[in-house]
Structure 1
Amino acid sequence: MNQPDRTTGHPPARPLRGIALKLASVVVFIVMSSLIKVTAQDVPPGQTVFFRSLFAMPVIVVWLAARQELATGFRAHNLFGHFWRGLMGTMAMGLGFAGLAYLPLPEVTAIGYASPLLVVVFAAMFLGEDVRLFRIASVALGLAGVMVVLSPRMTIVSGDAASTREAFGAMLVLCGAFCAALAQVFVRKLVHNEKTAAIVFYFSLTSTLLSLTTLPFGWVVPTTTQTALLVSCGLLGGVGQILLTSSYREADASLVAPFDYASMLFALLIGYFAFDEVPTRTMLIGAGLVITAGILIIWRERKLGLERAKGRKAMTPQG
């Protein structure tokens, strides 16, 4: 999921509202993924990305207009940056959507948790961010959890056809997590010169256009039901993005970010009741390790942020 920057310039004043908005965004995105899973066997992932992106745009445009940020949304200073962010984000969506055709919803969700861990690695590699031992250890723990989730799927050589399909799906989702992490690195670059409105708008625009390049690979004529589901995915995607953005306006990122992991609970419930997917013990153990690692990183970042804030306050001349 895309984590926008804080642009209000005001200290968070409504943390409970921020948490509620974040949880609402998590629910919306999980429901969106569930609808995509229903169509994933029949509709190519590139076509799904097109519907997801195109029908999110009207929602986002109306929201920006209501906030009087529409002009800001159209104003971009780094078009190449938006393109690369859009390319990585579009690939992440497409790979993740494709994986839903092969794997249970909770498993796709658990593997996707690799993305924020990989952001730490890529930020150190490409942005020169300082990564200390605590974060390195936490990332290692989280990636070990991802490997635990993946371990039952790594049976390409000795497994049957079904196992091979599941292994392929796991690789798709993992590659999607890599792309999502790279997209976040580009977002971190963009926030220095671009407003949240522009980042949100140009991602939807770029992903809509890029998804059209998959036309030669075989789009289908969806049924009425499939069309309704795909359009709903786009509308939910736009609503989810707005809720996500709004949550970071209302509360500190370090406060609301851990609620991303509530998506596992909702994925388990929807997977069980809607798709008859019973989670395995291995998947739950691996997901638990990944969630623990993510929360440790967030806790550490919050602690370091408070220490830096105290240091700046101490250095500020007093009246």
Structure 2
Amino acid sequence: MRQGKVRSSTATAFAVATLGIALFSGMDAVMKHLALAMGTYNALLWRTLAGATIGAAFYFGGRNAWPGREAMRVHLTRGLLGVPMALLFFWGLARVPMAQAIALAFVAPLIALYLAAIILKEKIEGRAILASLLGFAGVLVILAGQAEAEMGPDAFRGALAILGSAALYAYNIILMRKQALLARPTEVAFFTSGIMAGSFLLAAPFLAEPPPMAELPAIVGAALLAFGSLLLLSWAYARAEAQHLAPVEYTSFIWAVILGFLIFGERVQPLTLAGAAMIVVACLIAATRRPPPDPDVEAGVHA
């Protein structure tokens, strides 16, 4: 009976996380439009400010207690990490097709394996190394498709920026589960948006420009989509292990293909599909860990 409840809980968390990724993908599309219309910095500044305002209404309206020291440390780390991660990703997204950007970002779980080895002292298995090589080959295939399509040097720089963002997102993956276990979804959403907004405000005297009135609905829409996604993903990660929810990330590629075509008229290159498939397979190989040996069996072997 207990096992059935666990499976049901995991399935529910998976469904909620899938919806969260769908909202996040919609936010990516809106943010690409805003980055093209007003620049990456201003798009992020006004979106995070709107998101922090929405988050504050939910957080303080619910009379939540102030987070403890450990939770606040994780909030600060993830919020500060989100600043360069978002700048690199959306700067790159403004220069490459959505499907290609999301496909390149899929290397984050592979990078997370090596970060786990450095930070958590986990041993890297042979299959993880094989997966990394396959994932790297997938990246090369996508970049080859970019060259074949003659997108130009600006698109190549955009691809490199997205890979840099993926490296930061790899650490974010490690933080996401920890943060979800320490704080409620509204707290996670508020502090993540608030810390990012505060960081972007530091450069406001030099870079900020008032947003065009015509873009205000898009800014608020992007903030609502980001806030809703943070709530859903935080709820899901608090109820299921990261390894069970990792495949959810790959649904973003489907949304990127659809939204990129419908909104920006982007067509997916065959090599982008091939490279994305290689990276996804690599991530699945890396995620399939061998179970630890049974001590009783080990004792029997050596007896």
Q: Secondary structure at the match of 2:208?
A: coil
Q: Deviations over 1:116-150 (max 9, x none)?
A: 21111112123312211112211221222122212
Q: Is residue 138 of structure 1 aligned with residue 127 of structure 2? A: no
Q: Deviations over 1:17-62 (max 9, x none)?
A: 2222111111101100000111212222222222332333355456
Match of 1:42 in 2: 37
User: Could you list the runs of 4 or more consecutive aligned residues of structure 1 that deviate by over 6 angstroms after TM superposition?
Assistant: none
- Give 2:70's match in structure 1, choosing from 73, 77, 90: 77
**Count of aligned pairs:** 293
Match of 1:116 in 2: 109
Q: Give the TM-score of the pair, scaled to structure 2.
A: 0.83
Superposed displacement of residue 194, structure 1: 4.5
Superposed displacement of residue 289, structure 1: 0.6
* CA–CA distance in structure 2, aligned partners of residues 146 and 207 of structure 1: 29
- Give 1:265's match in structure 2, choosing from 243, 247, 254: 254
Match of 1:56 in 2: 51
* CA–CA distance in structure 2, aligned partners of residues 194 and 36 of structure 1: 29
Instruction: Name the CA shift for 1:246/1:233 in 2 (closer, same or farther; >3 Å).
Output: same
Root mean square deviation of aligned Cα? 3.3
Alpha-carbon contact 2:75-2:179 (below 8 Å) kept: no
Query: Which has the higher mean CA deviation after the structures are superposed, 40-49 or 75-84?
Result: 75-84
Superposed displacement of residue 214, structure 1: 3.2
> What pairs with 1:214-225 in structure 2 (closer than 5 Å)?
214-225=203-214
Superposed displacement of residue 277, structure 1: 0.6
Q: Secondary structure at the match of 1:74?
A: coil
* CA–CA distance in structure 2, aligned partners of residues 207 and 65 of structure 1: 18
Q: Secondary structure at the match of 2:268?
A: coil
Q: Give the TM-score of the pair, scaled to structure 1.
A: 0.79
Superposed displacement of residue 294, structure 1: 1.5
Instruction: Name the CA shift for 1:84/1:135 in 2 (closer, same or farther; >3 Å).
Output: same
Alpha-carbon contact 1:153-1:170 (below 8 Å) kept: no
Q: Which has the higher helix share?
A: 2
Match of 2:16 in 1: 21
Instruction: Name the CA shift for 1:164/1:78 in 2 (closer, same or farther; >3 Å).
Output: same
- Aligned residue identity for 2:86: M
Q: Is residue 97 of structure 1 aligned with residue 58 of structure 2? A: no
* CA–CA distance in structure 1, aligned partners of residues 250 and 180 of structure 2: 27
Superposed displacement of residue 228, structure 1: 1.5
Instruction: Name the CA shift for 1:271/1:78 in 2 (closer, same or farther; >3 Å).
Output: closer
Match of 1:276 in 2: 265
* CA–CA distance in structure 1, aligned partners of residues 249 and 36 of structure 2: 27
Match of 1:125 in 2: 118
Q: Secondary structure at the match of 2:209?
A: coil
Alpha-carbon contact 2:180-2:238 (below 8 Å) kept: no
> What pairs with 1:180-259 in structure 2 (closer than 5 Å)?
180-185=169-174, 194-195=182-183, 200-259=189-248
Instruction: Name the CA shift for 1:69/1:268 in 2 (closer, same or farther; >3 Å).
Output: farther
Alpha-carbon contact 2:188-2:234 (below 8 Å) kept: no
Superposed displacement of residue 226, structure 1: 1.3
* CA–CA distance in structure 1, aligned partners of residues 176 and 88 of structure 2: 19
Match of 1:317 in 2: none
- Give 1:290's match in structure 2, choosing from 279, 293, 296: 279
Superposed displacement of residue 152, structure 1: 4.0
- Give 2:162's match in structure 1, choosing from 160, 173, 185: 173
Q: Secondary structure at the match of 1:40?
A: helix
Superposed displacement of residue 109, structure 1: 0.6
